[in-house]
């Protein structure tokens, strides 16, 4: 798909993710023992043949830049096209944050204009899924649509969302011809069970025109100020493409905690990782070492770990050391964590480089896991 470019909009820092985003963007949050959230978005684009990808960054993007590097791991380090980090224009007023996707795209018009691809895929970076965009691209071209949205069937009454001011949840009405007839944004009770995934494809030149007009009229929200008026007026042909398969959006600590522990279920892992490869930054590590007396049950343990204690229903990232007598249950320990002797942890999330000293005890209810930020010694 050399005629399609990708634009990834990284989410704002959000209080609902607390310590996990105090020093990094949402897209750079570590997940699943060795990945970052953005790995899934980038891999989906690359696996769909997209070779020109722009990452619209916001504040606290240094960790994201360090992870992405030149884009080599995603084969996006070519001379032509490749991976482009688009940092925010910092002023005293905006602090490195955009008011929305419209402002972010307007700030990066130069990148949009110099790109040569005919179509652009716009996508957020706070979701986890493994899916090809090729069916959506083919449908968009074959139907002559102006805009095509990706959606997933959900139970609107059961789905749990963050109520943060930064979160936006959109439901759409799709007819039998896959035409979008209506859109609801942040409804208290949704009338439709089609959740828009904040992934759309549009002609690059049309996108530039739409953003230019939107900014001229003071618009900020892509969904509310651009998509919904055109859907209701019928002045643009807006189509929908259904996505089936695993999908999770990381909006809150509870979502993050649940997603990682859900991966202990083999069926979930197979659905998420069993189709197309998910690429990430590599780190050379020796295999995990299990010392005499170690007990590990139903857990994901990454390379470089040294296990001497007990680990149950937990996710351990690279380089974690669990000393003898320590007990870890229903917890997430990020890279290079050190759990000393006779520590007890249950329903805990430890960020990178956290040390829990001997005989420490952190136990929380599963609905409200304890979160410890980076580089902390307890």
pTM for this one? 0.93
| Element at 122 (helix H, strand E) | strand 119-124
Nearest-angstrom CA–CA distance, 165 and 163: 6
Looking at the chain, which residues constitute the CATH 3.90.550.10 domain(s)? 4-273
SS3 of 308, please? coil
Nearest-angstrom CA–CA distance, 162 and 249: 10
CATH number for the region 289-372 comes to: 2.160.10.10
| Element at 376 (helix H, strand E) | none
What pLDDT does residue 165 have? 45
**Residue 158 CB neighbour total at 10 angstroms:** 6
Nearest-angstrom CA–CA distance, 371 and 332: 10
What pLDDT does residue 167 have? 59
CB 48 within 8 A of CB 134: yes
Nearest-angstrom CA–CA distance, 57 and 66: 13
347 closest CA partner among 328, 371, 326, 331: 331
Looking at the chain, which residues constitute the CATH 2.160.10.10 domain(s)? 289-372
Give the pLDDT of the chain (378 residues) as one tens digit per residue.
679 999 999 976 566 787 898 888 899 999 999 999 999 999 999 999 999 999 999 878 889 999 999 999 999 988 778 999 998 876 555 566 788 899 999 999 999 999 999 999 999 998 999 999 999 999 999 999 999 999 999 875 555 554 544 457 899 999 999 999 999 998 888 889 999 999 999 999 999 999 999 999 888 889 999 999 999 999 999 999 999 999 999 988 999 999 999 999 999 999 999 889 999 998 888 999 999 999 999 999 999 999 999 999 999 999 999 999 999 999 999 999 999 999 999 999 999 999 999 999 999 999 999 999 999 999
Nearest-angstrom CA–CA distance, 198 and 26: 16
Its CATH class, for the domain covering 4-273, is alpha beta
């Amino acid at each position: 798909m050399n005629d399609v470019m990708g634009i990834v909009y990284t989410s704002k820092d959000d209080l609902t993710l607390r310590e996990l985003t105090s020093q990094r963007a949402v897209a750079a949050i570590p997940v699943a023992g060795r990945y970052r959230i953005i790995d899934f978005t980038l891999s989906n684009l690359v696996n769909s043949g997209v070779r020109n990808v722009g990452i619209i960054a916001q504040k606290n993007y240094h960790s994201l830049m360090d992870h992405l590097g030149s884009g080599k791991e995603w084969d996006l380090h070519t001379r032509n096209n490749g991976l482009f980090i688009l940092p925010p224009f910092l002023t005293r007023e905006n602090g490195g944050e955009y008011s929305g996707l419209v402002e972010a795209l307007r700030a990066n018009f130069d990148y949009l204009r110099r790109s040569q691809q005919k179509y652009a895929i716009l996508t957020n970076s706070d979701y986890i899924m493994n899916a090809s965009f090729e069916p959506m691209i083919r449908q968009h071209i074959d139907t002559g649509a102006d805009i095509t949205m990706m959606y997933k069937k959900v139970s609107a009454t059961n789905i749990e969302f963050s109520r943060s001011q930064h979160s936006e949840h959109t439901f759409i009405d799709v007819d039998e011809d896959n035409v979008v007839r209506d859109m609801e944004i942040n409804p208290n009770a949704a009338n439709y069970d089609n959740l828009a995934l904040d992934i759309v494809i549009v002609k690059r030149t049309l996108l530039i025109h739409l953003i230019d007009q939107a900014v001229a009229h003071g618009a900020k929200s892509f969904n509310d100020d651009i998509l919904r008026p055109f859907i209701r007026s019928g002045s643009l042909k807006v189509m929908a493409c259904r996505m089936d398969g695993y999908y999770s959006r990381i909006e809150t600590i509870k979502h993050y905690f649940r997603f990682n522990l859900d991966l202990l279920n083999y069926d979930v892992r197979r659905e998420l990782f069993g189709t197309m490869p998910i690429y990430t930054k590599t780190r050379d590590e020796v295999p995990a070492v299990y010392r005499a007396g170690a007990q590990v049950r139903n857990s994901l343990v990454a390379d470089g770990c040294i296990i001497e204690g007990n680990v149950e229903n937990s996710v351990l990232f690279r380089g974690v050391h669990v000393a003898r007598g320590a007990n870890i249950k229903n917890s997430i320990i990020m890279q290079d964590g050190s759990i000393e002797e006779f520590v007890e942890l249950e329903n805990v999330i430890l960020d990178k480089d956290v040390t829990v000293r001997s005989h420490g005890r952190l136990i929380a209810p599963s609905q409200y896991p304890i979160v410890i930020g980076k580089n902390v010694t307890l």
